[in-house]
């Protein structure tokens, strides 16, 4: 199934029959991906007064409560409300869902005791391309990313100046396969978040950061259309399901 998308006075043919899901599903398991020192997510049947919401145990329906943290337990999309005093909802601020996107692969480079994504790397990977969204796959890209326990591991992160460069290039939506664009322990500096959202000057309410994606190795670097799907949570962040559609040559 093919579709024609008009974007900035250009026409793009996309194949809707071959979506690529780059989200990590949430599971009630200690093997669920995890960060920020949280317990694993829980999915539990409601029970009480002789009633249970589990068909396999005699209940009429499956009826579960789910306990999780969107920032810690899987693919999520966040807005500037993640770092502001004022409440800002991802559900209120993300109002468009299809974006011209570029998938790039980056091998984080050493910096002191860290591994970082630098401005130079982004400049090399993107060149002069103008994109609504940038999707960053880091190397090594192993399936273990989908169940890694990140707490106290100092994962790779992005320099603030690199995030600023993306903002100045007009990128509105940044997607990464790491727990955060910022260093795990930075005393609340959050330089990349602040730079990408332009927090100090004119906060970009319609810009988003999506973390904890997983881009399969079969997906080649290049141009795609991104469908950025979120659950309608009135919260700074929501679980999300970013889907890629290949642009036909």
Report DSSP letters for 61-117, one per residue: S--EEEE--TTTSS-EEE-GGGG-SS---HHHH----EEEEEEEEE--EEETTEEEE
Q: How confident is the model at residue 1 (pLDDT cuts 50, 70, 90)?
A: confident
Residues shown for the chain: 249
Compute the Cα dihedral for 197, 202, 203, 207 and give only its sign.
negative
Show me where the domains of the chain are located: 2-27+71-246
pTM as predicted:
0.97
Residue at token pair 């004022």:
86
* Band of pLDDT at residue 88, cut at 50, 70 and 90: very high
User: How high is the mean pLDDT of the chain?
Assistant: 97
Nearest-Å Rg of the Cα atoms of the chain is 19
Domain 2-27+71-246: CATH superfamily is Putative cyclase (3.50.30.50)
φ/ψ of 79, rounded to 5, equals: -115, 180
Q: What is the pLDDT of residue 3?
A: 85
Q: Over the stretch 103-132, which tens digit does the pLDDT of each residue have? A: 999 999 999 999 999 999 999 999 999 999
The pLDDT tens digits for 22-52 are 999 999 999 999 999 999 999 999 999 999 9
Query: In this structure, are strands 237-246 and 20-21 parallel, antiparallel, or unpaired?
Result: antiparallel
């Amino acid at each position: 199934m093919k579709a024609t998308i008009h974007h900035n006075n250009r026409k793009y043919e996309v194949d809707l029959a071959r979506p690529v899901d780059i989200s990590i599903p949430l599971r009630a398991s200690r093997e669920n991906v995890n960060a920020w020192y949280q317990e694993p997510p829980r999915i539990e049947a409601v029970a009480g007064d002789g009633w249970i919401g589990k068909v396999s145990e005699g209940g009429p329906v499956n009826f579960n409560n789910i306990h999780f943290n969107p920032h810690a337990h899987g693919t999520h999309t966040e807005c500037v409300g993640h770092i502001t005093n004022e409440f800002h909802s991802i559900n209120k601020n993300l109002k468009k869902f299809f974006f011209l996107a570029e998938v790039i692969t980056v091998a984080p480079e050493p910096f002191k005791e860290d591994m970082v994504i630098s401005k130079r790397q982004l400049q090399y990977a993107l060149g002069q391309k103008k994109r609504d969204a940038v999707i960053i796959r880091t190397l090594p890209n192993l399936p273990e990313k989908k169940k890694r326990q990140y707490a106290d591991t100092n994962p790779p992160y992005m320099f603030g100046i690199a995030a600023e460069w993306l903002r100045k290039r007009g990128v509105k939506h940044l997607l990464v396969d790491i727990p955060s664009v910022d260093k795990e322990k930075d005393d609340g500096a959050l330089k990349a978040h602040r730079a990408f959202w332009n927090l100090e000057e004119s906060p970009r309410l319609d810009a988003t950061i999506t973390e904890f994606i997983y881009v399969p190795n079969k997906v080649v670097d290049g141009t795609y259309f991104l469908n950025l799907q979120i659950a309608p949570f009135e919260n700074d962040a929501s679980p999300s399901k970013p889907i890629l559609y290949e642009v036909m040559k």
